[in-house]
Amino acid sequence: MKGLRNSLSRARTARGIGRFGVAIALILSALAGTAITASAQSSAPKRTVIRAGRVLNVRTGELRANQAIVIEGDKIAEIAPSGEVTAAAGDTTIDLPDATLLPGLIDMHTHLTFDLNSLGYQGLSISTAREALHGARNARRTLEAGFTTVRNLGAKDYADIALRDAINDGDVIGPRMVASGPALGITGGHCDENLLPPAFHFQGDGVADGVEGVQHKVREVIKYGADVIKICATGGVLSKGDDPNASQYTLEEMKAIVADAHRLGRKVAAHAHGAEGIRWASEAGVDSVEHGHLMDDAAIATLKKNGTYLVPTLFLTEYMQQNMEHSDVPEFSRQKMRWIAAAAQQNVKKAFDAGVKVAFGTDAAVYPHGLNAGEFHVYVKLGMTPLAAIQTATINASDLLGSKYLVGTLEPGKWADVVAVDGDPTKDVTILEHVKFVMKGGSVYKNDYAKR
């Protein structure tokens, strides 16, 4: 009997504990549900509604009036007539009734950590840390000019990688960067450092020779953060002792570079002025040829056949013709610039007329950062329509970057990179030199309309 009583007592105790446990579980469940609801509410993406006078479809050229762009977090959720979009409580509304909206612009060839005075002998006195700080200033100027994404093709000591990471972390204001780190080049070539005497035994960070050497260098720059591989297929202009018309890397070396880069998920951009270097770079499979200023008919045909993008960087020739004599550019570079400037536009026009794919790029640093949009009017002067010129800095540049970058159009699912201007840029492309509103990833970085 005593054992039976003990068993009954234990059972009653267990039931009591069980009822208490159930009550505690219900309370904890309720609290957890409240916490989950609160967390869901707090983590819900911020909504912004931009109401605009006009929105440009850069694919078709259609300008739609009285449109609203709904942004959730850093992406576009909806684009619809303003009358069909109602802002909810807590939404941020931006009214731009007189503006034309288009996608954030893309510059496929910049050097944010460089300025013109850092490209000659003066550059020898500028530390990498100082260049990185120059980059922070230039990044902000570029973003405020309407360029929300850039491809940075060449920097010393990975300063552009550091700048990219600082922008991504929110420490520095600037465009979204696709950065190369040091550009690959041959010993004594355009991407080497040729200003110092032999006693220094100094060479550029990206110098590599031979198939094994270039394979190792591709892997090295990727190891240290490169998003894209920049190579020098010919000589250049602002470098000592090389010839812009002369090929540098061999076809075999460039094939090795492209094979490794593509296998490791990186695209390849090839600096190339001379015709042979352009042909070899395109046949090697590079994704874009930068400049192309001395190309001939055979080089143009090769670019067309292989679908290689041309990034022309033409405004710099106009700017340097007007300002070079008052700059600190060394005379050896001035001589080459005069030669290049005389030929560049007529050769690139032939490529335009032949239907070569074109992506917008400026080589900003050869002229002041923030003037990037000056490139557009040169394209129009050479025969592009304003819409086609805009497409080089939107859908074409986006195609060259690749599908992982959600840029180039104003469409649901794309990053909320939006710029606004007065007037109709499809009639006057120089309007893009006066961007008044800039949003990158859903955050506003410039709004001159709010100052009125």
- Residue 410's nearest CA partner among 49, 149, 94, 102 is 102
Please give the Cα distance from 396 to 310 (Å, whole number). 11
Catalytic residue among 363, 414, 436, 446: 363
> Edge-to-edge strand order for the sheet containing 47-56?
75-81, 63-72, 47-56, 92-103, 418-422, 437-440, 443-447
Residue 280 has what DSSP assignment?
A: H
- Residue 232's nearest CA partner among 259, 212, 214 is 214
Check: CB of residue 385 under 8 Å from CB of residue 424.
no
Please give the Cα distance from 184 to 300 (Å, whole number). 24
Helix (H), strand (E), coil (C) string for 88-119: CCCCEEEEEEEEEEEECEEEEEECCCCCHHHC
| Residue 46, CA distances (Å) to 75, 85, 417, 446 in order | 10, 16, 15, 19
Check: CB of residue 85 under 8 Å from CB of residue 78.
yes
115 catalytic residue (yes or no) = no
Reduce the DSSP state of residue 32 to 3 states and report it.
Answer: helix
440 catalytic residue (yes or no) = no
Residues whose CB falls within 8 Å of the CB of residue 351, separated by 6 or more in sequence, listed in order: 292, 295, 300, 303, 310, 312, 358
Which value, to the nearest 10 degrees, does the dihedral of the CA atoms of residues 414, 420, 423, 429 take? -70
Catalytic residue among 156, 230, 240, 255: 230
Please give the Cα distance from 47 to 109 (Å, whole number). 33
Check: CB of residue 119 under 8 Å from CB of residue 368.
no
Place of tokens 């002025």: 273
Please give the Cα distance from 371 to 300 (Å, whole number). 28
Burial tier of 61 (Cβ tally within 10 Å: 0-12, 13-18, 19+): middle
Please give the Cα distance from 148 to 103 (Å, whole number). 9
State in Å, rounded, how far the first CA of the chain is from the last one.
94
Please give the Cα distance from 154 to 206 (Å, whole number). 9
| Amino acid identity, position 217 | K
Please give the Cα distance from 293 to 295 (Å, whole number). 6
- Enzyme catalytic residues: 230, 363
